[in-house]
């Protein structure tokens, strides 16, 4: 069974608005490496659209040079998109239809290196079902005081065990956890 890995940028006060973080070359390189560890991405509609708008060429061509390895990695990745409102997707993507839990379990059961997901709403649902095998929180040394919070509305606590920690020159820290027990 291939693992489902989750990663998100988060500020010290728990804000997960993608505009609240401090982008730099090291965190983009780390994100590209994380995505490259997976056979496919599992994205909700909002994250899919946001990533497509920013990282699908030709839009990504206007990004700084240090973002290009990330842009190439996400552009090439196979994408599964969870949406009940999109009629179709492209950008190397296909829509996930049917019962979400059943479909994610089916994707995880397929052979391969793993699936990778991000975002807020989809991840909260998947975490609540116990389907996420690894969590990486890229913690930015910033307090923003507003915005969406990490795992808002999760019905049960997640007990996690830290298995890795990577500190970047900027003060950003990536901590990886797995479910305890």
This model's pTM is above 0.75: yes
Give the span between the Cα atoms of 28 and 65, in whole angstroms.
11
pLDDT value of residue 83: 92
- Bridge partners for 96 per DSSP: 82
Coil, helix or strand for 58?
Answer: coil
pLDDT tens digit sequence for 132-151:
999 999 999 999 999 899 89
pLDDT value of residue 133: 97
pLDDT tens digit sequence for 87-111:
999 999 999 988 999 999 999 999 9
Q: What are phi and psi of 18, to 5 degrees?
A: -60, -20
Calculate the alpha carbon distances from 116 to 7, 62, 104 in Å.
8, 25, 12
Question: Within the chain, which residues score under 70 in pLDDT?
Answer: none
pLDDT value of residue 22: 85
pLDDT value of residue 73: 92
Find the radius of gyration of the CA atoms of the chain: 16
Q: What are phi and psi of 139, to 5 degrees?
A: -95, 120
In the chain, the DSSP E strands lie at 4-11, 40-44, 78-82, 93-96, 115-117, 134-140, 160-167, 173-179
């Amino acid at each position: 069974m291939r693992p489902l890995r989750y990663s998100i940028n988060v500020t010290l006060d728990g804000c997960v608005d993608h505009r609240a973080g401090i982008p730099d070359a090291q965190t983009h390189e780390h994100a590209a490496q994380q995505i490259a560890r997976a056979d496919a991405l599992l994205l909700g509609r909002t994250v899919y659209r946001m990533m497509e708008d920013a990282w699908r060429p030709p839009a990504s061509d206007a990004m700084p040079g240090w973002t290009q390895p990330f842009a190439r990695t996400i552009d090439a990745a196979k994408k599964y998109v969870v949406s009940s409102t999109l009629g179709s997707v492209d950008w190397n993507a296909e829509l996930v239809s049917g019962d979400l839990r059943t479909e994610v379990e089916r994707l995880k059961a397929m052979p391969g290196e793993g699936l990778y997901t991000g975002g807020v709403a989809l991840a909260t649902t998947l975490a609540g079902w116990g389907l996420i095998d690894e969590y990486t929180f890229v913690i930015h040394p910033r307090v923003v005081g507003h915005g969406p919070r990490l795992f808002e509305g999760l019905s049960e606590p997640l007990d996690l065990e830290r298995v890795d920690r990577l500190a970047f020159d900027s003060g950003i820290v990536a901590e990886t956890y797995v479910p305890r027990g």
